[in-house]
């Protein structure tokens, strides 16, 4: 029996619909992509229009010129600072003012104690040496005072060049 023309038409429509369905999905995806690309194209055009407009760089140029003027004086300022530093390094240290002394006692008796470090009768017996490190010694006494003394080590060798002894001596000021 032969199929009716309506049945044959329905079978053709169904076959074509099944064959075209993946193509229609891909066409829909392409249309979506084209919409996104269209939006991107509009944004690129807007950026190109902004880039084509001349920018006002006058303020930036003025600031750069001011910085160039300031930078021109830096070497001179550096030389001045170096000269001042050399002058300060060449000066001898200036001691501060002495503190007030205590009152003198009558008939050889001691008066009230003055500020620490102002005793007139300080002797070598009152001093004790404390080693700060290998190159400095600090002497302290009662009342406590601290006098830094620069020390140096000298190596004495015998005739064969071997170390005979090491001598520690104060450095002349």
Q: Where are the domains of the chain?
A: 7-53, 58-90, 125-170
Q: Which of 29-43, 75-89, 147-161 has the lowest mean pLDDT?
A: 147-161
pLDDT of residue 67: 87
Nearest CA-CA partner of 126 in 108, 145, 109, 107: 145
pTM of the model: 0.25
| 75-90 b/e (C-beta count within 10 Å ≥ 16 → b) | eeeeeeeeeeeeeeee
pLDDT of residue 115: 62
Q: Compare 33 and 94 and report the one with higher pLDDT.
A: 33
What percent of the chain has pLDDT above 90?
Answer: 0
Residue 117, pLDDT > 60, answer no
Chain-centroid distance, C-alpha 86: 26
Task: Taking the CA atoms of 23, 25, 29 and 32 in sequence, report the sign of the dihedral they define.
Answer: positive
Beta carbons within 8 Å of 105's beta carbon, 6+ residues apart: 111
Is omega for the bond preceding 143 within 30 degrees of 0, making it cis? yes
Confidence of residue 118 (pLDDT cuts 50, 70, 90): very low
Pairing of strands 147-157, 136-140: antiparallel
pLDDT of residue 125: 52
Q: Which of 47-56, 119-128, 141-150 has the highest mean pLDDT?
A: 47-56
Average pLDDT over residues 112-130: 55
């Amino acid at each position: 029996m032969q199929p009716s023309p309506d049945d044959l038409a329905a079978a053709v429509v169904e076959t074509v619909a099944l064959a075209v369905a993946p193509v229609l999905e891909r066409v829909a995806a392409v249309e979506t992509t084209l919409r996104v690309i269209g939006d991107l194209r509009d944004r690129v055009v807007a950026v190109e229009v902004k880039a084509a407009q001349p920018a006002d760089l006058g303020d930036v140029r003025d600031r750069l010129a001011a910085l160039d003027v300031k930078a021109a004086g830096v070497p001179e300022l550096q030389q001045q600072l170096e000269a001042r530093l050399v002058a300060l390094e060449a000066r001898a240290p200036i001691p501060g003012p002495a503190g007030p002394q205590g009152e003198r006692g009558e008939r050889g008796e001691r008066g009230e104690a003055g500020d620490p470090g102002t005793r007139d009768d300080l002797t070598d017996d009152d001093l004790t040496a404390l080693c700060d490190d290998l190159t400095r010694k600090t002497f302290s006494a009662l009342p406590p005072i601290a006098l830094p003394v620069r020390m140096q080590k000298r190596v004495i060798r015998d005739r064969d060049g071997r170390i005979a002894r090491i001598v520690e001596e104060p450095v002349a000021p």
